[in-house]
Amino acid sequence: MKLYIPENYKSYLDLKQTEKAIKLIKDFFQQDLSSELKLSRVTAPLFVLKGTGINDDLNGIERPVSFPVKELNDHEAEVVQSLAKWKRMALADLEFEPGYGLYTDMNALRPDEELDNIHSIYVDQWDWERVITPEDRNLDFLKKIVRKIYTVLLRTEYFVYEHYPQIKPILPEEITFIHAEELVERYPGLAPKERENRAAKEYGAIFVIGIGGEMPNGEVHDGRAPDYDDWTTETVNGYKGLNGDILIWNPVLESSYEISSMGIRVDKEAMLKQLKIANKEDRVNLYWHQRLLNGELPLSIGGGIGQSRICMYFLRKAHIGEIQSSIWPDEMIAACKANGIHLV
């Protein structure tokens, strides 16, 4: 069992206050995000057909929940693991113009997730996607969008403070950008997660650039599917990758804390290159990949922002089960209860 118990933990809010606060945070954050990034809310699927290439395969090893559909001759459907690819199709089908996009409530099941303080079988996040131009496919534009999202986080933190003055704002005014290869150079000998911990603790909030590709030392900082984020395009500083993770320092868990995974999406050339690197070239015949190769999908930037994770952080909770209802190992439930962590 992977469980961290903060010393002398006590929640700032009781159960009823917590439920009310969750609603306040979610309503405020999504409205502010929508305004900041010019996103319209759309309805998203809970499941998609297997064999279309639409589902996100995450690191490529997680098993999606699947089931046969009687009216489709038992053709299997899969519960989404994220909407990374579906959103780009929606941008095309709803005819969004450059500079505008969509967001949606994504609810997913990841049964292979290793359960701990921040990982659950049930995943809820705001999935968002925005149309860009060819000129936007660069590191400066990526940083611009990251700063906009970070501004929303800062506003949300102050919003929580206004309602619950006992929860003091702690985020730094600026987010720090650092490439995964720079982390290797700065903290040689440490594992990727340990590097993130060091940097997040030092700066308070960081955006780690370049997630998914092999670095000069032969490591991959963290896994990414080869067919949505662009992790092979070389940037002006000699590093590779137009994607990354927003990480903040979580003082309750005393570790780095991923809020969002995002990036500029692959164009035709980047996808073909990354499929070859990942030995997944057979995917080019799938429905989604054919649409991209045929020029039917717009260039885009997008990502996911964890809903329960944001609420957990801003309310200074020790376990994601204090925010969302899921299932947990019996020993985890018992250990949480014995230490004042009330799982809903």
The three-state (H, E, C) secondary structure of 95-111, written as one string: CCCCCCEEEEEEEEECC
Q: What is the pLDDT of residues 7-32, one digit of tens each?
A: 999 999 999 999 999 999 999 999 99
Would you say 78 and 47 are in contact if contact means Cβ atoms under 8 Å apart? yes
Q: Which domain covers residue 25, as residue numbers?
A: 15-46+81-338
Instruction: Assign 3-class secondary structure to the chain.
Output: CCCCCCCCCCCCCCHHHHHHHHHHHHHHHHHHHHHHHCEEECCCCCEEECCCCCCCCCCCCCCCCEEEEHHHCCEEEEECCCCCCHHHHHHHHCCCCCCCEEEEEEEEECCCCCCCCCCCCEEEEEEEEEECCHHHCCHHHHHHHHHHHHHHHHHHHHHHHHHCCCCCCCCCCCCEEEEHHHHHHHCCCCCHHHHHHHHHHHHCEEEEECCCCECCCCCECCCCCCCCECCCCECCCCCECCEEEEEEEECCCCEEEEEEEEEEECCHHHHHHHHHHCCCHHHHHCHHHHHHHCCCCCCEEEEEEEHHHHHHHHCCCCCHHHCCCCCCCHHHHHHHHHCCCCCC
Query: Is 324 a catalytic site residue?
Result: no
Q: Of residues 62, 76, 258, 267, which has the active-site annotation?
A: 258
In a domain, 27, yes or no: yes
In a domain, 330, yes or no: yes
In a domain, 211, yes or no: yes
Query: Is 30 a catalytic site residue?
Result: no
Q: What is the pLDDT of residues 196-233, one digit of tens each?
A: 999 999 999 999 999 998 888 888 898 888 999 999 99
Query: Is 265 a catalytic site residue?
Result: no
Place of tokens 């039917």: 296
**pLDDT at residue 109, as a whole number:** 87
Q: Does 62 have pLDDT greater than 80?
A: no
Q: Of residues 125, 260, 300, 307, which has the active-site annotation?
A: 125
**pLDDT at residue 217, as a whole number:** 87
Per-residue pLDDT band for 59 (boundaries 50, 70, 90) equals low
Q: Does 58 have pLDDT greater than 80?
A: no
Query: Is 326 a catalytic site residue?
Result: no
In a domain, 324, yes or no: yes
Q: Over the Cα atoms of the chain, what is R_g?
A: 20
Q: Does 61 have pLDDT greater than 90?
A: no
Mean pLDDT along residues 24-47: 97
Q: Of residues 34, 57, 110, 265, which has the active-site annotation?
A: 110
Per-residue pLDDT band for 98 (boundaries 50, 70, 90) equals very high
**pLDDT at residue 117, as a whole number:** 96
In a domain, 64, yes or no: no
**Quick one: what percent of the chain has pLDDT higher than 90?**
83
Q: Rounded to two decimals, what is the model's pTM?
A: 0.94
For position 196, which CATH number holds?
3.30.930.10
Query: Is 97 a catalytic site residue?
Result: no
Query: Is 140 a catalytic site residue?
Result: no
Q: Of residues 136, 222, 229, 245, which has the active-site annotation?
A: 245
What's the chain's average pLDDT? 94
In a domain, 231, yes or no: yes
**57-66, 84-93, 105-114, 175-184, range with the lowest pLDDT:** 57-66
In a domain, 328, yes or no: yes
For the chain, what is the domain count? 1
Mean pLDDT along residues 98-115: 92
Q: What is the pLDDT of residues 237-249, one digit of tens each?
A: 889 999 999 999 9
Per-residue pLDDT band for 134 (boundaries 50, 70, 90) equals very high
Q: Of residues 261, 300, 307, 326, which has the active-site annotation?
A: 261
Mean pLDDT along residues 166-193: 95
Distance from C-alpha of 87 to C-alpha of 90, rounded to nearest angstrom: 5
**pLDDT at residue 180, as a whole number:** 94
In a domain, 94, yes or no: yes
Side by side, the strands of the sheet bearing 75-79 are 47-49, 75-79, 66-69
**pLDDT at residue 54, as a whole number:** 86
